Amino acid sequence: MREDAIPLQNETFWLCNCTLARCIENNVVEIISYECPSLEPIKCANGKQPVLLTDEMSCCPYYACDCDCEGWGSSHYITNDGLTYSFQGNCTYVLMEEITPQYNLKIYADNSNCDGTQSSSCARSIIVDYNSQAFALKSIQGGAELQCFLGGTPQTLPFDNNGVTVLNTGVYLVLEIAKIGVAVTYGATEFQIDLPYQYFGNNTQGQCGTCNNNQADDCMLPDGRLVESCSVMADYWQATNVYNPDCPVPLSLPFNLPKPVLIEQPCTTNSVCHLLRSSVFEECHQYVSPHRYYEGCLFDSCHMTNPAAECTSLQTYAMACAQFGVCIHWRNHTTICTSDCPVDKVYSPCGPVEPPTCMDSPHHIPVDKVIEGCFCPEGKKLFSKESGLCVDKCGCLDPAGVPREFGERFTHNCQECICMESTKTVMCKAKECSTAVPPICNSPGFVTINETNPEDPCCTTLSCRCDSSSCPVVDSSCQAGYQPVLTVPEGECCPQFTCEPKKVCVHEGVEYQPGQTVPLSECQECSCSWNVDPETQHYQIECNSVTCDVQCEPGFEYVRSDSDKCCGKCVQTHCIMNKNGTKMFLQHGAVWSPPGDTCERYTCTHIAGSFITTNYQIRCPPFDQSRCQPGTVQLAADGCCKVCVEKETGCKVEAVVDYIIHNKCQSEEKIALTYCQGDCNSYSKYSELGDSSCSCCQESHSTNRTVNLRCLNGDVVPYTYTHVEECSCSVTSCHKATSLSSRRRRSLRLAGV
């Protein structure tokens, strides 16, 4: 009822201090004591301890169960009311949302395939949407790093703005909304959502179920219907206001999922699942049963390729134990689940969610919750949440991030600083330096420069320093065989050059390296040696007389002329030809035919100092054997073409009647003089100088006859002449035959005078 409203008759209203009043009539009010129901203990279905609350009027106490939703590994879930199920969805799902919006809070899980397999899925990020702010808690680089994003932008932690705080313990990200008591914890593949019943009792739905300490209605669909299996229910809570193009459409109800295969043993040889049932966690067994975590560990052992996937079940169970004050150092019993903390921090399974810092306000009340992570060692605390530095004493943090005690004076970046206790900040001012007296620089190359004072790096001083660019120019050239050597005497600035011998040989201004040939003399072979000349310090040139090679190849002969200064040379003397792989050597003018082929000819000609081999083929004239006298067919003298004595023009005895004249004496009458005439096989090859063959028609049988000759003085003298009886062809000298024929023709002409 409004404060200014007038109560109606018989109307009951709150008066104050849990007191009721009832309007009787005529301004008569009856005071009624407010009776609270008896306080009855309850048992929380999720295993948590009940919390004591008061009703809406803050009058009557009652017990309630705060809600705790968990997920880990390959999508193992525990609802707000403690119901366990598994779900292998690959989409973005609603974990929790308000049935009737009061605090504008929604929490989503973005699931994707683990290890690249289709048989398991993990929560790769948890999205918390609060008052139109979308925080994404993600694991990146394969879970090696955790990061918080706000609206897609990565945030530097710790984050504290608009009522939301995000912390990183080194193992978990923790998002807190202090106003409504919400805490979301996220690891690489596990999460935990703590919701106070005071704000969210009987007003949640999603994959985490209801928040009413009743497991019977946890498997509720978005339309309010209940199904028997939460594994079926979970697929229908796809986030409708998040873009998920690859999300599969849920099957139409009703449908039955295949019963999961019961796994009794881990599938890896070095499994750590047995630790959940061992003495390592024995202290926690009375508070939280390890059964559901053990089953999840076995499933991950057989469905995920990374052996470290088993660690999430142990880590999640240890976090549940920590809520009951049971801190277990379980990681020391494994080799695959070790923790990596920075060198300045130590690992603890039950550290404070908000570690104390030097900057904490005296009125700050930290979250009363413990969590696994990396914390400052005993005796130290964080300087601030932002710095992450552990310090022995509280004070200031200098610009370099180094802790300073109150009142401490120090120098930073050439400024004199002090840590102020009143403001907990560092105050700095520029350092004052004394005036430097300039020195006198007289030596060549030295100049005055302003440099850092070695005794006080924050101040400068004037000094004489060497500047080689100001040195005078010096001629640094050396003759052949020498190299310039630069030396700077001690205490000087400018260089001095000297020419020192090089390790080379020198001849006529040219340098030679050891082993190189030196052209010293034509009749000597000279080279640069490794021997050092004691006077010049150069390598010495060593020479040997040239050995002439007088051996020449076939077809050449060694000739040394007056123009040759040292050695002669091989001069060609024959034509050299290759016939069927055999080298042939022909002298100038020689003719050669291959065996069995007398018609092919090779000749050698020496022209202008060169030997030229010429090859030609003899072409025979047409030959008709039918025109030959029998028995006269034979090869010509060249051994190539056939020749014969023709029947009509053959060699035979002819006669001429004429006088015989001898020494101016003449026969008294004409006498029949016989001779041989006719064709014979003759040839003369002008292509082969000096090579001719004559087959002449000559007498083969003759007799001597005597006749009287009368001389001019009247004397008669006898004269014997040859009378040819038979003729035949015989080889003779062509030149002689020509001469005889000429004389004979002349004799015949004289006879006709």
Average pLDDT over residues 553-582: 85
Residue 149's pLDDT is 93
Residue 682's pLDDT is 61
Residue 9's pLDDT is 65
Same domain (yes/no): 593, 732: no
Average pLDDT over residues 508-531: 90
Same domain (yes/no): 415, 331: no
For residue 212, pLDDT over 90 is answered with yes
> Highest mean pLDDT range out of 105-114, 365-374, 636-645?
105-114
CATH number at residue 666: 2.10.90.10
Residue 683's pLDDT is 54
Say which range, 125-134, 137-146, 262-271, 469-478, has the weakest mean pLDDT: 262-271
Look up the domain containing 417 and give its range: 396-430
Task: With beta carbons less than 8 A apart as the criterion, state whether 159 and 165 touch.
Answer: yes
For residue 751, pLDDT over 50 is answered with no
- Residues present in the chain in total: 753
Is the residue at 510 inside a domain? yes
Task: With beta carbons less than 8 A apart as the criterion, state whether 471 and 521 touch.
Answer: no
Is the residue at 69 inside a domain? yes
- Confidence band, pLDDT 50/70/90 cuts, at residue 739: very low
**Cα distance between residue 514 and residue 502, in whole Å:** 12
Amino acid at 339: S
Say which range, 181-195, 209-223, 427-441, has the weakest mean pLDDT: 427-441
Percent of the chain with pLDDT over 90: 29
**Cα distance between residue 121 and residue 136, in whole Å:** 18
Same domain (yes/no): 143, 82: yes
> Highest mean pLDDT range out of 51-60, 272-281, 687-696?
272-281
For 602-629, what is each residue's pLDDT tens digit? 899 999 889 999 988 888 888 888 888 8
Residue 686's pLDDT is 46
Residue 117's pLDDT is 59
- Confidence band, pLDDT 50/70/90 cuts, at residue 386: confident
Q: Which residues of 426-443 are buried (b: 16+ CB within 10 A; e: fewer)?
A: bebeeeeeeeeeeeebee
- Confidence band, pLDDT 50/70/90 cuts, at residue 4: low
For residue 689, pLDDT over 60 is answered with no
**Cα distance between residue 681 and residue 635, in whole Å:** 9
Q: Which residues of 260-283 are buried (b: 16+ CB within 10 A; e: fewer)?
A: eeebeebebeebbbebbeeebbee
Residue 692's pLDDT is 55
CA dihedral 736, 740, 742, 748 (to 10 degrees): 180
Q: Residue 45 to residues 80, 211, 224, 228, 282: CA-CA distances in angstroms?
A: 9, 11, 22, 18, 22
Same domain (yes/no): 79, 177: yes
Mean pLDDT of the chain: 84
CA count, 13 A, side-chain hemisphere, 118: 0
Task: With beta carbons less than 8 A apart as the criterion, state whether 383 and 367 touch.
Answer: no
Residue 70's pLDDT is 93
Same domain (yes/no): 214, 282: no
Neighbours of 298 (CB within 10 A): 21
Same domain (yes/no): 382, 407: no
For 324-383, what is each residue's pLDDT tens digit? 889 999 998 998 888 888 888 999 999 898 888 888 887 777 777 888 889 999 989 898
- Nearest alpha-carbon partner for 283 in 318, 254, 253, 310: 318
Is the residue at 452 inside a domain? no
Task: With beta carbons less than 8 A apart as the criterion, state whether 111 and 92 touch.
Answer: yes
Which residues have C-beta within 8 Å of that of residue 531, sequence separation ≥ 6? 539, 540, 542
Q: Which helix (H) or strand (E) is 556 found in, with range? A: strand 556-559
- The count of domains in the chain is 6
Is the residue at 42 inside a domain? no
Is the residue at 314 inside a domain? yes
| Domain-ending residue, one of 371, 395, 419 | 395
Same domain (yes/no): 112, 184: yes
Torsions phi, psi for 243 (to 5 deg): -75, 110
For residue 506, pLDDT over 90 is answered with yes
Q: Which residues of 117-151 are buried (b: 16+ CB within 10 A; e: fewer)?
A: eeebbbbbbbbbbbeeeebbbbbeeebeebbbbbe
- Confidence band, pLDDT 50/70/90 cuts, at residue 651: confident
How open is the CA angle 81-84-85, to the nearest 5 degrees? 130
Which residues have C-beta within 8 Å of that of residue 482, sequence separation ≥ 6? 499, 500, 501, 502
For 666-684, what is each residue's pLDDT tens digit? 888 888 888 888 777 665 5
Average pLDDT over residues 546-558: 87
- Confidence band, pLDDT 50/70/90 cuts, at residue 687: very low
For 37-48, what is each residue's pLDDT tens digit? 888 899 999 988
Neighbours of 695 (CB within 10 A): 22
CATH number at residue 380: 2.10.25.10
Is the residue at 229 inside a domain? yes
Higher pLDDT, 283 or 115: 283
Neighbours of 221 (CB within 10 A): 16
Is the residue at 365 inside a domain? yes
**Cα distance between residue 67 and residue 197, in whole Å:** 6
Same domain (yes/no): 354, 324: yes
CATH number at residue 162: 3.40.1000
- For tokens 């290890």, the residue is 115
Higher pLDDT, 529 or 9: 529
For residue 80, pLDDT over 90 is answered with yes
For residue 691, pLDDT over 60 is answered with no
> Highest mean pLDDT range out of 94-98, 189-193, 388-392?
94-98
**Cα distance between residue 310 and residue 325, in whole Å:** 24
- Confidence band, pLDDT 50/70/90 cuts, at residue 126: very high
For residue 572, pLDDT over 70 is answered with yes
Same domain (yes/no): 671, 736: yes
What DSSP character marks residue 739? H
Same domain (yes/no): 69, 201: yes
Same domain (yes/no): 161, 223: yes
For residue 86, pLDDT over 60 is answered with yes
Higher pLDDT, 205 or 711: 205
**Cα distance between residue 483 and residue 475, in whole Å:** 12
Same domain (yes/no): 533, 410: no
Average pLDDT over residues 521-527: 85
Higher pLDDT, 351 or 22: 351
Residue 10's pLDDT is 67
Is the residue at 58 inside a domain? no
pTM over cut 0.75: no
Amino acid at 10: N
